[in-house]
Amino acid sequence: MQKIVLFAAVILAAPLYAQQPPANPPANPPTNPATPTLEQPGEAPNETQPPAAPAAAPAPAPTASDLRKMAAKPISPEGGAIVEEIIARVNNEIITKSDYDKELGSAEEEAKQDCQGRCTPEQLQAEIADRKKNALRDLIDQSLMVQRGKDMDINVETDVVKQLDQIRIQNNLGSMEDLEKAVTAQGMNWEDFKSNIRNKILVQKVIQQEVGSHITIGHDDVLKYYDAHKADYVRPEEVALREIEVSTVGKPESEIPELKKKAETALKRVQNGEDFGEIAKRFSDGATAKDGGYLGMYKRGELAKPIEDVVFKMKKNELTGVMDIKQGFMILQVLEHYDQGQQPVEKVQDEIMNQLYSHQMGPAMRAYLKTLREQSYVVIKPGYEDIAGGGNSEIQEVSATPEATKKKKEHKKFLLFGKRSNSQS
């Protein structure tokens, strides 16, 4: 059975306010290799580096590291002994030792992927230790936000179906039944797989509605920031690019015409007004598909000469045709073309708004999660550390699968950016 390759930024394994990549190119892009088909890391920023922009798009598909989190959880036999150690309670929900162990394993793998080629062994170990330290906090934060989404009666079922279909398309599977078979063939429970996707989307919706919607950035804020950081916007000539790549690697010669037709169809749909990023997510086989095809920013000399000669003549939002490349077929879009020298504020205002948004999002998210904790019941088993705070206490061992007849919790009212009058500072 073909191994499923899943594409996206991690939400469950990273601080929970991670959002979609910005629609505009970052101010300080990494150095690019001499080919436009970059492998963009899909890791979410850490707590001191909040997301670059609010996201209105559906939640991204899970990464490969999320697969382990979607595996089936042990279930207590009816009337039998407990098979799970409970290490934390979050209101009426539980976090088990196996949940925690999976989070620790994912934290280590993601640190290794993120540090690949850029960290010393000592730096890697420090990064692993830091991510593991945050593991229980992240599980508790996720549980709080999922519960909040349910209390708000947020329905994400349509988004779940779209997300599953995106995963199916990315993995070249013919039907949803084929996707289910591929998931179960890898030892995962299909319902748990869908539940984890559902929770990811629910968390994102809560963040958008409860935190992101309260962050407002005006034109005066943009001008003030620009005036204070003008030197940051003196640049060489650069282009920001997005791609749609249809791969022919390993495909028989008989399939090449059909694959070229797929690329031509994608181009036609963008030309007819559909969003390039959404078409990239559905049609592109490249590693950038999860980011809407975003490749990065390139100076002259950083692209293959035939491609450079084309894209540096193009203006903002212009498209190339379907180009033959070694890996198959490619379509490029110029997101922005920066002339050499001081960039006018109009050209960088979206970038500045992303920057200002990210500066505000981190503190706002921390305040929001603090409020959720203050208005919730969180108890940690002795011997386990939650760095966000929370008292330790003995936890009564009960079934890891609470009975379905349990009464639904009453809805709670939450303060968005404040504390209850009786809360402790």
CATH of residue 79's domain is 1.10.4030.10
> Each residue of 361-387: pLDDT tens digit?
999 999 999 999 999 999 999 888 776
Q: Which residue has the tokens 């008292």?
A: 391
Amino acid at 192: D
Q: Same domain for 311 and 380?
A: no
- Neighbouring residues of 379: CB distance < 8 A, sequence distance ≥ 6: 88, 89, 390, 391, 392, 393, 395
- Sign of the CA dihedral 78, 82, 83, 85? positive
Q: Same domain for 253 and 305?
A: yes
Q: Same domain for 294 and 404?
A: no
Q: With a threshold of 0.75, does the pTM exceed it? A: no
> Each residue of 162-182: pLDDT tens digit?
889 888 877 878 899 999 999
Q: Which residue has the tokens 């950081």?
A: 229
- What band does 335 get if pLDDT is binned at 50, 70 and 90? very high
Residues 323, 311 contacting (CB under 8 angstroms): no
> Each residue of 385-419: pLDDT tens digit?
776 655 444 444 433 334 333 343 343 333 333 33
Last residue of one domain, picked from the residues 292, 313, 345: 345
- What band does 308 get if pLDDT is binned at 50, 70 and 90? very high
- What band does 23 get if pLDDT is binned at 50, 70 and 90? very low
Helix (H, G, I), strand (E, B) or coil at 407: coil
CATH number assigned to the domain comprising residue 314: 3.10.50.40
Amino acid at 319: L
- pLDDT of residue 159 exceeding 90, the answer is yes
Q: Same domain for 291 and 338?
A: yes
* Number of domains forming the structure of the chain: 2
* Residue 398 pLDDT: 39
- Going by C-alpha positions, the residue among 82, 85, 401, 370 that lies closest to residue 378 is 370
> Each residue of 84-140: pLDDT tens digit?
899 999 999 999 999 999 899 988 998 888 887 788 989 999 999 999 999 999 999
Q: Same domain for 130 and 157?
A: yes
Q: Which residues on adjacent β-strands are paired with residue 88?
A: 95, 380
Residues 183, 176 contacting (CB under 8 angstroms): no
Distance CA 64, CA 76 (A): 28
Q: Same domain for 67 and 184?
A: yes
Residue-range definition of the domain harbouring residue 80: 1-19+54-216+361-425
Residues in the chain: 425
DSSP calls for 180-238: HHHHHHTTB-HHHHHHHHHHHHHHHHHHHHHTGGG----HHHHHHHHHHTGGGGEE-SE
Judge whether 49 lies within some domain. no
Mean pLDDT across the stretch 23-39?
A: 39
- pLDDT of residue 231 exceeding 80, the answer is yes
